[in-house]
Structure formats: structure tokens, C-alpha cells
Amino acid sequence: MLRISTLRLLGRALVSRLSLLDVFSSRFYSSDLLGARDCAHDARAYFTTPIFYVNAAPHIGHLYSALLADALCRQRRLLVPTAAATRFSTGTDEHGLKIQQAATAAGLAPTELCDRVSAQFQQLFRDADISSTDFIRTTEARHRRAVQHFWGVLEARGLLYKGLYEGWYCANDECFLPETKVSRQPGPSGDSCPVSLESGHPVSWTKEENYIFRLSHFRKPLQRWLRDNPQVITPEPFHHTVLQWLEEELPDLSVSRRSSHLHWGIPVPGDDSQTIYVWLDALVNYLTVIGYPNVEFKSWWPTTSHIIGKDILKFHAIYWPALLLGAGMSPPHRIYVHSHWTVCGQKMSKSLGNVVDPKTCLDRYTVDGFRYFLLRQGVPNWDCDYYDEKVVKLLDSELADALGGLLNRCTASKINPSGTYPAFCTTCFPSEPGLAGPSVRALAEDYALVNAVATLPKQVADHYANFQIYKALEAVSSCVRQTNGFVQRHAPWKLNWESPVDAPWLGTVLHVALECLRIFGTLLQPVTPSLADKLLSRLGVSATERGLGELYFLPRFYGHPCPFEGRRLGPETGLLFPRLDQSRSWMVKAHRT
Ligand code: MSP
């Protein structure tokens, strides 16, 4: 039973400079605040990852959250290349009971634990080429100032009151739970232990006087925000889930704990006997990063896209927008939600000993290889299973054989002795399919390839907009396969540069394949930045020719000049992506132990 006893209110509503009537009037929640303002054309974009708990070392699930945000952000930068237009924050969530208890269990002071684990996250993100512009730690002074200011605004707007909170609390998930979300499980000594139905983590009964946020008043404004903005939460099933949650009563939310119980946190301004609830503290990180409460934050706030895991949807899609509306601000622009990674069919957990260390994976599969794997196989709508053989199989077939093999076939000196981007012959490959003539060599399937690659950038952009990055990669991979089919079909190694009949067609086959590779390399930049750089450099594509705005695939086919034709290819720098299955001794070893 979750009971906030308003009857036993110990204090009256706190200082209220605005009347409640004013606060809940429709005037207060203008359509602008509720997201009617579309920032799709706004030049600025602000991406965020969740901030990570520092109770344990990072695992591949954490890296996945950060990679999704990184890929979205890199894609955005390729569309709007002004450096100042994009901001990308990540960081560590360092306060709360969970961290306090983890530090005690490790025999460390909380600050020591936080410094140690936060450094591990920072190192991992550097290693994995996460292009964040900001890293926030909630123990920083700038954050304490932002949280206390935010609290003051809620208080001034009459949205906080003091009352008796009685109910279940799960320290592991840092959340309050109603009786309906709690079940009983046999504990180690056979007795029955209350646990969270959702996470399985233990819960404990709490009864104390806290500050409480009038969350219940926000049910209707939240429903309106979500109904008016059907794309706010992506993918759609998560949007639907939140609307369903809002069909039920929304109880007020306890937003502080007794300091004697929770000392590791930010004190309530003017009342040291209470510590601010860790989720309120954590969510405000998104504002701290952009300078809140200084006015500069306003140029970034409405353009925010949060990338989060499904387990923290309620906090981001209900509590956070309600808190923001309460503080007189707009809810976030977009919330992108992803599912989880399991390992060999099981939830990853320290107690099961199956946590996959991301650093080991980056070392084994290379940074770009592992980035590609997680983003190619991770499906936001449902959980995905991890095992080593799957990584090897995918990377060998798609990066080493298909993409690397294609590049090698078109650039190897045997087949391309001049080391240039050869000319495209419009007589061999006329823009009209079905034309007959002695020099016409292109087949119906070749037109299908040109069409597939020409429409690929738009397809990829749509998949990014729908947060289906794996589908974008699937589409690229399918075009790589089609291009290999094209090369195989025309077997350029059987054609002769010396023959006046063969040469124009041989050049055309290579030109088309190199153009396809240029598109693939450009589109892969957000996911495999170094590999894409290697590929584009080999093709001789300069740094200023890699944006998504000016791709212009196969211009000669469409009757335009091609800036690459006749250009020298870049230097040969070895295999694009070496096969992994020959260097798998560590796998055999790992299986034996
Ligand atoms: N500290 C909170 C977030 C506060 S944001 C204001 C938190 N931290 S967390 O470290 O537990 O999780 C951070 C992110 O990692 C979440 O998006 C979560 O969904 C994600 N993952 C944790 N385990 C995961 C998997 N097994 N698989 C994929 N992502 C997972 O929650």
C-alpha cells in the first residue's frame, strides 16, 4: 500500500508566490510549453544519455545506451556540420541510498567509490569513441546549485508540501512502489522477503515525513502533451505504454528522505534534516549541463533528445516532464527508448557472474567492430541476446568479407592498375534502362542496384528518425551485398584494360562500385567512424566531401559532372577489417575455463 497521508499533513503548503489556481490553469500550460513548438528545423540539437550509477563497473548495456546516443548525434552533425549546433552529454549518477550502501559494502568513503567508478566510465567512453561534449558528475558544485535552484522554483510555485510518506522503497532501483508492484520470495534463510515485481530487487517498508511533489496534478497535462505530440516517445509502443500508465491515478511523489537515513545527497535548501530524492537530483543533470539556472540554458533546452533504457521510462516520461512543467519549462523534445541486452539468454547480473566487460570486447573486436555489432544487432523494441560467436560471425561476414572484400576488389592494383577513380561510360550504362545497342552492357539488375543505392540515404535517415539504427545498418548491408553481386556478375577481372571494347565497361563497373562504396562509407560514419574514415580516405574522398547533405550518388548516370572521376585513390593502408575467426584463440580458451 502506498499512502501519502494528506489528512496527516504535518505542514501546510510551502511558501507559495503563485496561487495554485494560477499554476493549474490552462494558461499556465500553454501549447508552447506542451511541445507544440517543433524544433525539427531548429539548428541546435542537444542529445543526452542517462547518467550512470557508480555502484559497479560499466557493462555492455551501459555502452549500448551511450552508443545509440553517439550514433544519433554523429548523424546529426553530418547533417548540420556547424560544430556549435550539437551538444551531447553523458555522466555519472553519484548520490542516493544505492551508492551509499555500495560504498559501505566496499569499505570505501562514497567519494572514493564515485571517483573510481566515474573514471572507469570516462575511460570507457574515450576508448569507445563516444563523441560527447560534456561529462557531468552529480557530485559537482555546479549541479548542487542547479538542483537547489530547481527545488526553489517548485517550492515557489506551491508544488511541494510536507507530509507523511508510508510505503515500499527499493534502494536498488531507487524508487517507491505500491503494494501491487511487490511480491514475496523465499529469502536465504527460507523466510519470505518482499521484492519488486518488475526488477526482483528487495524492497523495504518506509514511513517518514518527507517533502512531496504534487505529481497528481499533472496527469491531464501529461496526457495532452503525449496526445498532441505522438512522436515524443519513440519507438511507438513505449509511447503507448506511457499513455496507458496515465490512465490510472497518478499519486503524489515523495521527493526527499530523512538525512539521518540518506546522507549521501543534496540537502533540501533551508532544511538540512532532509536530502533531495536521488531521481529529482539525477534528472536535473540535463539542465546543469547546459548552464541552468543561468539564462544560457534556454538556447538549448527545447531541443533536447533523451536516449534511455526501457527500465527508466517512467522517470523520464512521467516524473521529468511533470517536474519541468511544474518549473514552468517545456517537456523534452524527444525521448528515444531502447531495450536490454541479455547474456546467453539471462539477465546480466553481478551475482550470476555473467556481466560482459565492454573493454574486453573493444579489445577483441576492435572499437569499430564492437560498435557495429551492438548497433547492428540491438533492436530498441525488444531485448537482444549477447554471445561471442554471434559477434565473430557478424563482423566476419559483413565488415571483413562483404565490405572489406568489395573495397579490395575495386582498388587492388591488379584490377585497378592506375590507382584512380575510373571514368563512367554513359554509352555502356545509359540512364534509360532497356536501351539496346552494341555498347550497352548494363543489365536490369544493375538498374535495380543503382536505384537501391540512390534511395539508401533517405531510407537510412528515416530509420535514424525512428530510432531504428539497426534497420539503417541492415539496409546498408543489403546494398553492400547487392554491389558485390554486381561486381561478381560482370567479373571485371576477366575484362582487359588494353581492349578498346572492354576498357570503357571495365572503368564503368569499377566507377559504379566505388560510388556505392563512397555512399556506404559516408552513411557508416556515425556507427564506425574510424573504419568509415579508412574507407573514404582510400577512395580519395576529402574531409569536406563526407557530409550527408551533399552525397550526390553516381552523378554521371544522372547527367552531371563527377568530381571524383579521374581522381587518384588514397594510399593503400591494409585490410579494411581483418577477419576475426583466425584470431580466436581467446575464445577457445574462454570456453575451456
Ligand atoms: N542512474 C540512472 C539513470 C539516471 S538518468 C537521469 C540509471 N543508471 S543505470 O546505470 O542503472 O542505467 C543507465 C542506462 O543503462 C539505462 O538507460 C539502462 O537502461 C541502461 N542499461 C542497464 N542495463 C542494461 C542492459 N542490460 N542492456 C541495455 N541497457 C541497459 O538507471
Candidate of 65, 238, 280 to mutate for ligand 1, largest count of ligand atoms within 8 Å of Cβ: 65
Which residue lies with its CA nearest to atom 8 of ligand 1? 52
Candidate of 51, 62, 130, 320 to mutate for ligand 1, largest count of ligand atoms within 8 Å of Cβ: 62
Candidate of 60, 93, 357, 386 to mutate for ligand 1, largest count of ligand atoms within 8 Å of Cβ: 93
For the chain, 593 residues long, give each residue's pLDDT as a single digit of tens: 334 433 233 333 333 333 333 434 333 344 445 443 433 445 899 999 999 999 999 999 999 999 999 999 999 999 988 877 999 999 999 999 999 999 999 999 999 999 999 999 999 999 999 999 999 999 999 999 999 999 999 999 999 999 998 889 998 888 888 888 999 988 777 788 999 998 888 999 988 999 999 999 999 999 999 999 999 999 999 999 999 999 999 999 999 999 999 999 999 999 999 999 999 999 999 999 999 999 999 999 989 999 999 999 999 999 999 999 999 999 999 999 999 999 988 999 877 889 999 999 999 999 999 999 999 999 999 999 999 999 999 999 999 999 999 999 999 999 999 999 999 999 999 998 888 888 899 999 999 999 999 999 999 999 999 999 999 999 999 999 999 999 999 999 999 999 999 999 999 999 999 999 999 999 999 999 999 999 999 999 999 999 998 899 999 999 999 999 999 999 999 999 999 986 655 554 544 43
Confirm whether 40-338 and 401-568 share one CATH topology.
no
The three-point CA angle 394-479-447 to 5° equals 160
Q: In b/e form, how buried is each residue of 241-269, taking b as 16+ CB within 10 angstroms?
A: bbbeebeeebebbbbbbebeebebbbbbe
Torsion of CA 339, 66, 330, 93, to 10 degrees: 100
pTM given for the model: 0.91
CA of 312 to the centre of ligand 1 (A): 7
Which residue lies with its CA nearest to atom 22 of ligand 1? 61
Q: Which CATH superfamily is domain 40-338 in?
A: HUPs (3.40.50.620)
Q: Are 260 and 210 in contact (CB under 8 A)?
A: no
Task: Answer yes or no: is the C-beta of 161 below 6 A from any ligand 1 atom.
Answer: no
Q: Which helix (H) or strand (E) holds 176?
A: strand 175-177
* Residue among 95, 90, 54 nearest 72 (CA): 90
Task: Answer yes or no: is the C-beta of 376 below 6 A from any ligand 1 atom.
Answer: no
CA of 5 to the centre of ligand 1 (A): 32
Q: Where do the DSSP E strands lie in 54-131?
A: 86-93
CA of 93 to the centre of ligand 1 (A): 10
Q: Are 507 and 428 in contact (CB under 8 A)?
A: no
Candidate of 174, 280, 312, 315 to mutate for ligand 1, largest count of ligand atoms within 8 Å of Cβ: 312
Coil, strand, or helix at residue 358? helix
Query: From CA 225, how far away is CA 36, in angstroms rounded?
Result: 8
Query: From CA 82, how far away is CA 44, in angstroms rounded?
Result: 9
Task: Answer yes or no: is the C-beta of 460 below 6 A from any ligand 1 atom.
Answer: no
CA of 279 to the centre of ligand 1 (A): 13
Task: Answer yes or no: is the C-beta of 340 below 6 A from any ligand 1 atom.
Answer: yes
* Residue among 207, 266, 235 nearest 2 (CA): 207
Task: Answer yes or no: is the C-beta of 99 below 6 A from any ligand 1 atom.
Answer: no
Domain locations in the chain as residue ranges? 40-338, 401-568
Task: Answer yes or no: is the C-beta of 52 below 6 A from any ligand 1 atom.
Answer: yes
CATH number for 401-568: choose from 3.30.1300.10, 1.10.730.10, 3.30.70.20, 3.40.250.10: 1.10.730.10
CA of 4 to the centre of ligand 1 (A): 28
CA of 51 to the centre of ligand 1 (A): 8
Which residue lies with its CA nearest to atom 25 of ligand 1? 61
